[in-house]
Amino acid sequence: MTNEVMNRFAMDPFFDRLARRFFSPIEGDNDTMNLGDLKTDIKETDKDYELKVDVPGIDKKNIHLAYDNGDLALNVDQAQASEKKDEQGRVIASERSHGVMSRTYELPGVDRDHISAEIDNGVLNITLPKMAESDDHSGQIEIQ
């Protein structure tokens, strides 16, 4: 009898997900988004930083970017809902999910006013131009 109760809970999606989250909170499951979902390539040149972030199926209105004190913050807040109906139009299954992902990238010396971002085929392309450096490296300040 005890085995039947334990087997029933192991097969119940609610208790199975609850146990996975409790005993392995680092391990992601299908109900939550994790950092692995924001795969990023960063390329640095003399003029700028170029980021390519995989965001397939995410609407741009759910993506928020902010640059402050040398850090680029990327936040994604995505909700989904679906319903399945039988032949009479009665709902037989209704599912909702919500996920939040965020990453911060340390990218110093960026010209904040000229940052650009666009989504192309599920890839978020962000260009962060570097601030122009002064040609005078002596550190001397001329007094007017």
- 27 shares its domain with 42: no
- 19 shares its domain with 66: no
Instruction: Evaluate whether residue 136 is within a structural domain.
Output: no
Which CATH number do you get for residue 69?
A: 2.60.40.790
Host domain of residue 13 = 1-31
- pLDDT at position 57 is 84
What secondary structure does DSSP assign to 46-68, as a single string? Answer: SSEEEEEEE-TT--GGGEEEEEE
- pLDDT at position 41 is 95
- Please tell me the total count of domains within the chain: 2
Instruction: Evaluate whether residue 9 is within a structural domain.
Output: yes
Helix (H), strand (E) at residue 23:
helix 13-23
- 39 shares its domain with 86: yes
- 45 shares its domain with 82: yes
- pLDDT at position 85 is 86
- 7 shares its domain with 47: no
- 83 shares its domain with 23: no
Residues 6+ apart with CB under 8 A from 114: 129
Instruction: Evaluate whether residue 98 is within a structural domain.
Output: yes
CA–CA dist 101, 92 (Å, integer): 30
Q: What stretches in the chain show pLDDT beneath 70?
A: 1-36, 133-144
Q: Which of 131, 80, 74 is nearest to 104 (CA)?
A: 74
Q: Which of 68, 34, 72 is nearest to 51 (CA)?
A: 72
- pLDDT at position 117 is 94
- 41 shares its domain with 17: no
- pLDDT at position 32 is 44
Q: What is the pLDDT of residues 91-121, one digit of tens each?
A: 888 888 888 888 999 999 999 999 999 999 9
- pLDDT at position 35 is 41
- pLDDT at position 20 is 55
Instruction: Evaluate whether residue 134 is within a structural domain.
Output: no
- 40 shares its domain with 20: no
Instruction: Evaluate whether residue 140 is within a structural domain.
Output: no
